[in-house]
Copies of this chain bind each other. A is one copy, B any other.
Amino acid sequence: MQKETLSKNQKIILDYIEKVNEPIKAYSILHNVQKKGIKAPLQVYRALDKLVEIGKIHKIESKNAFVACKNSNCQISKATAFSICESCEEVSEISDHKLSKYLKTFQEKTGMKFNKYNLEFFGLCKKCSIK
């Protein structure tokens, strides 16, 4: 799905999330797009649902926050994998071959068929661990 095919509200909200460039909460989004005519939580949540569904954004479950997908070619729209620095709050999307491979072997071993996963790694980023 291309950005051009998004609806009005979806576009407004994706634009804002991309601009912010870090995980942001639904009500914070709401406050910041009110000047664009979005008045109610539901308008935000509906757009968020759709944007998550098509892989344009991801939800950081442990933070109830949303972040734009950095992976222009994020195939697995239902998968998220992030590393999160507990000091500076920097969030990076993980796209790692070994992880994909591990997931595959795990799938084979457990007999479980995965269609979605949510991975969140917390720690200190390089910068912050030097300090």
How does the 8 Å CB contact mask read for A29-67 relative to B, with 1 for contact and 0 for none? 000000000000000000000000000000001100000
Please give, as numbers and ranges, the residues of chain B lying within 8 Å of A124 by CB-CB distance.
112-113, 115
A26 partner residues in chain B, CB cutoff 8 A: none
User: With A and B bound together, what is the CA distance between A118 and B94 in angstroms?
Assistant: 14
Contact A122 B117 (CB under 8 A): yes
Q: Is the interface of A mostly helix, strand, loop or mixed?
A: mixed
Contact A117 B116 (CB under 8 A): no
Please tell me how many copies of the chain the complex holds: 2
Contact with B along A104-131 (1 / 0, CB 8 A): 0111001111111111111111100100
Question: Which interface class (under 10, 10 to 19, 20 to 34, 35 or more) fits A?
Answer: 20 to 34
Evaluate contact between A62 and B118: CB separation under 8 angstroms. Answer: yes
* Chain B residues, Cβ within 8 Å of A118: 61-62, 118-122
State the 5 A-B residue pairs at the shortest beta-carbon distance, nearest first. Answer: A111-B126, A114-B123, A61-B61, A116-B122, A118-B120
* Interface residues in chain A, defined as those with a beta carbon under 8 Å from any beta carbon in chain B: 61-62, 83, 85-86, 92, 94, 96, 98-99, 102-103, 105-107, 110-126, 129
